[in-house]
């Protein structure tokens, strides 16, 4: 009976179902989903383990579990994701921001002292707006523009900026990379789609079923977006400006070749916490 189902019992039942289904982090997922359904902070789950779920809460737990068993990520079920300590709402057109992308935020913020005073930042393929908004949250003198081809992503990023109180310094616009832009920026950041089409079969169902494919795939070799956006970004950089690109773990040489061909001087490679090359930077002028 639903009203006899306790918080602790629900966590255990979901953990068992998720384990049997082969999910990667069954207990963690169970705790987060039961906590959300019961409106409890995860830290309070143990203290409230004997509390019975209301009928409504039990229905919500069941519905969340059914979605997770179809491989929908917890962040999509709950509709938001923490990135750089900030809360971002997701929608069907936005990539679920990845912790590795914090490497790009960190690399951009490491340049703050080199770019004193008011500065302009362009984020190409902004999705939720997570990169630009995370940078602006720690760079008060900077303002920025985020571009995405997906109108629903632009809506989501605009909403996230408002929720984070960053609207006055962040604008978002629909567009194809730099088409139609005339302004020059001090920093251009981008995490473009970079998975090769041939790798689709190896992706987890959590990713391939729920992240929007235009946010994932970069053509046959994964480099298609870089081929378009690198030459497009060059005339949009100020003299002495910096381009910072997130890349796939094996793409540093390929992307640096494209940078050189477009007249950039590759400057550094930045590693993520797993030791993989995650960001390349290049200077113009």
Ligand X SMILES: C[S@@+](CC[C@H](N)C(=O)[O-])C[C@H]1O[C@@H](n2cnc3c(N)ncnc32)[C@H](O)[C@@H]1O
Q: How many CB atoms lie within 10 A of CB 242?
A: 23
Name the strand (E) or helix (H) holding 246. Answer: strand 237-246
Smallest separation (angstroms) from ligand X to the CB of 242: 17
Q: Could you say which of 126, 160, 251, 281 contacts ligand X (CB under 6 A)?
A: 126
How near is the Cβ of 19 to ligand X at its closest, in Å? 29
Q: By rule CB under 6 A, what string of x and - marks binding of each residue 164-193 to ligand X?
A: ------------xx-------------xxx
Helices (H), the chain: 7-20, 26-37, 55-69, 74-78, 102-109, 130-137, 151-163, 205-208, 213-216, 224-233, 252-261
User: How many other β-carbons are positioned within 10 Å of the β-carbon of residue 163?
Assistant: 15
Burial class (CB in 10 A: 0-12, 13-18, 19+), 72: middle
Tell me, residue by residue from 195 to 234, as one string, x for binding to ligand X by CB under 6 A and - for no binding: -------------------xx---------x---------
**Residue among 67, 80, 89, 149 that touches ligand X (CB under 6 A):** 149
Closest approach, Cβ 102 to ligand X, in A, equals 10
With CB under 6 A as the rule, give the number of residues binding ligand X: 22
Q: Which is nearer to ligand X, 161 or 225 (CB)?
A: 225
Q: Which of 216, 138, 122 is nearest to 172 (CA)?
A: 122
Give 15 or 191: the residue with its C-beta nearer to ligand X.
Answer: 191
Q: What is the DSSP letter of 116?
A: -
Q: Is 36 in the site for ligand X (CB under 6 A)?
A: no
Residue ranges binding ligand X (CB under 6 A): 95, 97, 101, 125-128, 130-131, 147-150, 153, 176-177, 191-193, 214-215, 225
């Amino acid at each position: 009976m639903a009203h006899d189902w306790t918080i602790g019992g629900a966590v255990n039942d979901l953990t068992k179902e998720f384990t049997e289904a082969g999910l990667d982090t069954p207990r963690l997922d169970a705790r987060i989903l039961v906590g959300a359904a019961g409106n409890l902070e995860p830290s309070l789950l143990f203290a409230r383990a004997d509390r019975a779920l209301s009928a409504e809460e039990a229905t919500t737990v069941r519905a969340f579990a059914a979605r997770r068993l179809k491989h929908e990520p917890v962040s999509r079920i709950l509709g938001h994701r923490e990135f750089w300590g900030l809360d971002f709402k997701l929608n069907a057109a936005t990539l679920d921001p990845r912790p590795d992308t914090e490497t790009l935020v960190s690399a951009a913020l490491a340049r703050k002292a080199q770019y004193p005073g008011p500065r302009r930042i362009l984020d190409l393929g902004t999705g939720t707006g997570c990169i630009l908004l995370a940078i602006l949250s720690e760079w008060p003198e900077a303002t920025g523009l985020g571009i995405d081809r997906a109108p629903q992503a632009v809506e989501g990023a605009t909403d996230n900026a408002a929720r984070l109180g960053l609207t006055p310094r962040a604008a978002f616009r629909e567009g194809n990379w730099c088409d139609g832009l005339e302004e020059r920026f001090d920093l251009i950041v981008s995490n473009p789609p970079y998975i090769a089409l041939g790798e689709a079969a190896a992706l987890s169902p959590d990713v391939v079923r729920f992240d929007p494919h235009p946010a994932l795939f970069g053509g046959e070799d994964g480099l298609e977006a870089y081929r378009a956006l690198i030459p497009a970004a060059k005339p949009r950089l100020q003299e002495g400006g910096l381009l910072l690109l997130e890349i796939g773990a094996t793409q540093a040489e390929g992307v640096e070749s494209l940078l050189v061909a477009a007249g950039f001087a590759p400057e550094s490679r930045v590693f993520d916490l797993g030791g993989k090359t995650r960001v390349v930077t290049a200077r113009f002028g």
